[in-house]
Chain A
Amino acid sequence: MLFNSYIFVLLFFPLCLTGYFLLNHYKRYTLAQLFLFGMSLWFYGFFNPSYLLIILFSIVINYGFTWIMGKTKQLGFKRVILITALLLNIGILFYYKYYDFFLYNLNIVFHTDYTLRNILLPLGISFFTFQQISYIIDAYRGEVQQYNFLQYASFVAYFPQLIAGPIVTHDELIPQFADLSKKVFRWDNFSSGLFLFVLGLSKKVLIADVFGNAVNWGFSNIEVLDTLNAGFVMLAYTIQIYFDFSGYCDMAIGIGRMMNIDLPVNFDSPYKALTITEFWSRWHKTLTRFFTKYIYIPLGGNRKGKLRTYLHVFIVFAISGLWHGANWTFIVWGILHGLFMVITRHWKSGFDKMNPVLSWIITFSFVNLTWVIFRADGISEALHFFQRLFSMEFFGTVHTSLADCFNLADVRFWLELMLPAHIMGYYPKVMTVLSAAIVMPIILFSRNAYQYAESFQPTRKTMLITVVLLTLCIMSFSGVSTFLYFNF
């Protein structure tokens, strides 16, 4: 189920919120927890009921491993359990996410012809696998208390963070489930949570999806792009991925807050970053936190000299690339970020002394360019895109089909009532440029949604904004497809 769907907003979440707090109100705490777990399974199974078997298996087996670990005092046996659990989790993730990729590359390198299985990737598997790996490692280190099964299952399956993060750790979530003071409905949390949810929803529905149309068109028609149009498509993806992902996380945090559950902040205006190091302290913070705690530090962190530190950073980013998807594009993207992180660290004093504007331009340009690789279907597509981007051909105008992505029929309807037809002829292209010209300053100079929610006050102004945006978003869930094809 998607947050930006009728069923979630109009049925699932109202039902979930009401049921959860009603059961807690009557002190049926276990039942309320069970209800929440059940709702989370409905949320997850809505995509594909067969996914439920995978997540349930994963939950049961991992809980079993930690339970056994808790019962034994023999370090050797604990280590065996840890290694088995890690291998199993990574094995499951590898099978669903990387098996075909591995075979595909094997076939190329060794001229074999292993049949690809076209395995359907269960949604959120990377997130709930990492979450449970962190739990098992913490259990091995003796950093966890023994939770009951329902608490553990509710933590892994908790629907706001299940599909796309933030990556929440057990010690952040489970104690909140057990906290009786959090089981009472609170209007202040509901209001600020709803406000944040609506801001996130708007980022996704009203901004990311519109820019996404332009990106889809651009990457499907690379050959017709000149430098300017390719640059716009690149920027459009930079905008789309940020508003899409951070919008999702804002919604998740907002939903959590409405249920009195605090989820960690995942984005902190990353495009304001002046260096790549700062970017990674602002972008997908919970993933960076995970890699730091469970890979970078165990490798030795920065305690083993400069060269080893650089190597550790590089390894973390290469793994991060692979984690994002089974494609060389993600690996190259991760490697490039790793290299740039190493360069930034090595010449730290140079970057520190650099003019902040120049430093920002370098960082933002690097992030933009590497997003192209991230978005492309393959390395050759990314190279083709760069070829057009750096072709230095200038057609002097926004491509008509690109502008059509911003030719929103409902906005056009209102403008047509006010403006003469010859002016309306410019509407799509003006809207294209205007959209980016409005959104970019918001990204760079405005507070982000989470910061707005932190200073939320229940005023008429915030009420009006919330009502208008929520109505607009709900009314935008279903579009009216335009069938451009005329022939035949």
Chain B
Amino acid sequence: MEYKKWGMSVVAITLIVLCILGSITAIIDPYFHYHKPLESLEYPIYDERHQSDGILRNFDYDTIIIGSSMTLNFKTSELDSFFGTNAVKVPLSAATYNEVNSNLQRAFAANPNIKKVFIGLDGFAITRDKNAFAFAAEQYPTYLTDNYLLNDVNYLFNKQAFVTGSLRVLMHTLQKNKTTSFDEYGNYMDLYPFGKEAVLLHTGGRQPANEEQLLSEETKQIVTESIQKNVISLVEQHPDVQFYYFFPPVSMYYFYMLKQNGTLKGELETYKIASNLMLQCDNIHLFSFFEELDMISNPDNYMDAYHYCEDINSQMLVWMSEGSHLLTKENYVDYWDSIYETFNSYNYDPLF
């Protein structure tokens, strides 16, 4: 073979192969970057950070459930039946308020039909900086979440997106599976054991008690800025959309740890600050379920100190649809004060 023929062939064949592989990914689009699922194919939905942006921009929906892993077990079919909506679920494990906000900004920019948004307000993230992300910047597939067309090469010429994305869609279809429903997507009921043993394994059992710490002015400022930027500002931009924010009902073990750590009062104070700010917006419906002591103190409902079973997600939807457990401008101060009194004097011994 001649050098010229060899060189030209290598360049030409490589470009052709790349174009074919890239085209397959563009057409199948396993991360929904260009379009919603093709009707002729069945898609597994499994990858939060790579598929969420595509779901929010390209699916047909009018309602979103979004938040951290506390939203994984929600079933959109239940939400739709209670609220008469057509919802998508976008859980982002470990998400900060900023990350949730960024995703919602993208969703609103792409979909003018959004009517309701259900958002989990995690206690662990409330004191994070207003611009914080859960993971290091380089871990995020920013080529999927910006509007810069040229960096789509990262998606189209991506071995893993091709094999574990595009080919997986084809396999999923050939094996007669159906596109993952938003009831199934992320549901972890069959993945982890629940109950006291599992929870104690995660929490490590009893902990030494520390002195109670007061909330610093700096932390109050961080909470205020984060809520202003990531909640209030977004809500005010969309006065016709109803926002259902809720504090995920983490277990009594979580509050035990806060109490022992000396941060119980401080953390509930941050919830109070957030409530005060959020309740100024008429289109925010704010819920908290911590007074359901039987529910949150039953370890059978939890796999660790935080993550609850799907029954709790279902019950939350019932309560929210009924308008039960709603915080208002009138009741929120008393509510958080009474929660503090309850948890501060609670007998945690039966948990162990």
User: Which residues does A use to contact B, with CB under 8 Å?
Assistant: 6, 10, 187-188, 190-191, 194, 409-410, 413-414, 417, 458-460, 462-463, 466-467, 470-472, 474-481, 483, 485-488
Contacts and interface: CB of A to CB of B under 8 A. Distances in A.
A232 to B, nearest CB: 25
Given A10-B153, A188-B3, A485 B94 contact: yes
Q: Is the interface of A mostly helix, strand, loop or mixed?
A: helix
A483 B155 contact: no
B2 interface: yes
A414 B153 CA distance: 24
User: What 5 pairs between A and B have smallest CB-CB spacing?
Assistant: A458-B6, A475-B159, A478-B154, A410-B163, A480-B160
Nearest to B47: A480
A373 to B, nearest CB: 27
Nearest to B48: A483
B142 to A, nearest CB: 11
B9 A413 contact: no
A244 to B, nearest CB: 18
B93 interface: yes
6 contacts: A191-B10, A410-B160, A410-B162, A475-B21, A480-B161, A486-B69
B157 A474 contact: yes
Contacts of B135: 483, 485
Interface residues of B, number: 50
A466 B165 CA distance: 25
B264 to A, nearest CB: 18
Contacts of B307: 487
B306 interface: yes
A205 to B, nearest CB: 10
Given A410-B164, A413-B167, A463-B1, A477 B157 contact: yes
A485 B96 CA distance: 13
Contacts of B165: 480
Contacts of A478: 143, 153-155, 157-158, 161
Contact of A467 (B17, B93, B153, B158): B17
B139 A481 contact: yes
B7 A190 contact: yes
Given A486-B94, A488-B122, 14 more contacts: A187-B4, A190-B7, A191-B7, A191-B10, A414-B163, A458-B7, A459-B6, A467-B10, A475-B18, A479-B160, A485-B135, A488-B93, A488-B124, A488-B306
Counting chain B CB atoms within 10 Å of each CB, which of A459, A462, A478 scores highest? A478
Given A483-B93, A485-B134, A6 B7 contact: no
A409 B47 CA distance: 13
A249 to B, nearest CB: 22
Nearest to A11: B150
A437 B167 CA distance: 30
Interface of B: 1-7, 9-10, 13-14, 17-18, 21, 47-50, 68-70, 93-94, 122, 124-125, 134-135, 139-141, 143, 153-155, 157-165, 167-168, 171, 304, 306-307
A458 B160 contact: no
B240 to A, nearest CB: 31
Nearest to B4: A187
Contact of A483 (B1, B68, B139): B139
B93 A470 contact: no
B69 A487 contact: yes
A459 B168 CA distance: 35
Contacts of B140: 481
Contacts of A10: 153
B111 to A, nearest CB: 25
Nearest to A458: B6
B68 A488 contact: yes
A470 B139 contact: no
Nearest to A485: B94
Contact of A187 (B7, B155, B162): B7
Contact of B3 (A187, A476, A487): A187
Nearest to A474: B157
A481 B141 contact: yes
A369 B158 CA distance: 36
A458 B3 contact: yes
Contacts of A474: 14, 18, 157
Nearest to A6: B153
B17 A480 contact: no
Nearest to B5: A458
Nearest to B124: A488
Contacts of B171: 417
Given A410-B164, A413-B167, A488-B68, A483 B157 contact: no
Contacts of B122: 488
B94 A487 contact: yes
B319 to A, nearest CB: 23
Nearest to B250: A488
B3 A191 contact: yes
Contact of A475 (B50, B162, B168): B162
Contact of A6 (B17, B157, B162, B168): B157
A481 B135 CA distance: 11
Nearest to B122: A488
B190 to A, nearest CB: 15
B10 A194 contact: yes
Contacts of B162: 410, 475
Contacts of B2: 187, 458
Contacts of B159: 410, 472, 475-476
A409 B164 contact: yes
B6 A483 contact: no
A475 B49 contact: no
| Residue among B4, B159, B163, B167 with the highest chain A CB neighbour number at 10 A | B159
A13 to B, nearest CB: 11
Nearest to A478: B154
Q: Which of B10, B164, B168 has the most CB of A within 10 A?
A: B10
A417 B306 CA distance: 36
A414 B167 CA distance: 10
Nearest to A483: B49
B46 to A, nearest CB: 12
Nearest to A469: B14
A487 B18 contact: no
Contacts of B50: 480
Contacts of A472: 159
Given A474-B18, A477-B157, A478-B143, A466 B164 contact: no
